[in-house]
Structure 1
Amino acid sequence: MKRHSSLLSLFILALSSWSTSAASLDKEIEYLYQYVAEATECVFVRNGKSYTTLEAVEHMQVKQGYFSKRIKSAEDFIKFSATKSTTSGKAYLIQCEGQEIVESADWLSSALMSYRLAQ
């Protein structure tokens, strides 16, 4: 009976840890979507064509759905949903007013790091 109770306790602990991690992942991804959407002075460049940040968010949401089983962290989200074209392999770029063009992976990774430090 004691062994059964210990196993149950471990299961509950693992489940609570998983739901905390899942909630944390959802918050981080939601933050990244918000960060992109609010960067209205920027354009998102995909395969040589410029898109608004709202269009970028929509595109990332589609890719997140497609890669959902592979996304286990916010870094995975960036890697699979916001880094490069799965068709051409070209990196996604961000061009913000008055700033150099940067790869979206670097831009989003920096935003994620700032978000985590602020928590």
Structure 2
Amino acid sequence: MRLWLARVYVLLAICSAVPARAAESLEQTIGFLLHRIETADATFIRNGQTHTPQEAVAHVRAKYEHFKGQVKTPEDFIRLAATKSLLTGQPYLVRTRDGKEMPLNT
């Protein structure tokens, strides 16, 4: 009986660690994506206004904090916090060094 109970405790410990690892992995992925925005050699355009990478990442971080309870995957993060304006629905754009503009949701 004790062996069976010990196995149950081990199984519970393993199962409870899986969501923690998944959450850690999600946070690492989001951190990586935010770092890519912050260090991009580009101009970000939101609702017709240009922003530096540092301004863009600050805005996306704030949106992420707002939607954090709904973000379960990197795709959720991208969809909810990093592709379009909540106010206007306009897609966020990025302008590369050569002047090419493209939406972030492609």
TM-score, with length taken from structure 2: 0.88
Check if 1:62 corresponds to 2:62. yes
Displacement after TM superposition at 1:6 (Å)? 4.5
- Secondary structure of the 2:86 match is coil
Q: Hey, what's the Cα distance between the residues in 2 that align with 1:13 and 1:105? A: 37
Check if 1:36 corresponds to 2:37. yes
Write out aligned runs for 1:86-105 (5 A). 86-98=86-98, 100-105=100-105
Point out the structure with max Rg over C-alpha: 2
Which one has a larger percent helix, Structure 1 or Structure 2?
1
- Secondary structure of the 1:21 match is helix
Number of residue pairs matched by the alignment: 104
Check if 1:71 corresponds to 2:71. yes
> CA RMSD of the aligned region, Å?
1.5
Write out aligned runs for 1:103-114 (5 A). 103-106=103-106
Aligned match of 2:11 = 10
Q: Give the ranges of 4+ consecutive aligned residues of structure 1 lying more than 2 Å apart after TM superposition.
A: 4-11
TM-score, with length taken from structure 1: 0.79
- Secondary structure of the 1:105 match is coil
**Which consecutive residues of structure 2, in runs of 5 or more, have no partner in the other structure?**
none
Displacement after TM superposition at 1:7 (Å)? 3.9
Percent identity, aligned pairs only, is 30
Moved more, 86-95 or 13-22: 13-22
1:87-111 deviation digits (Å, cap 9, x = unpaired): 11111111111153121133xxxxx
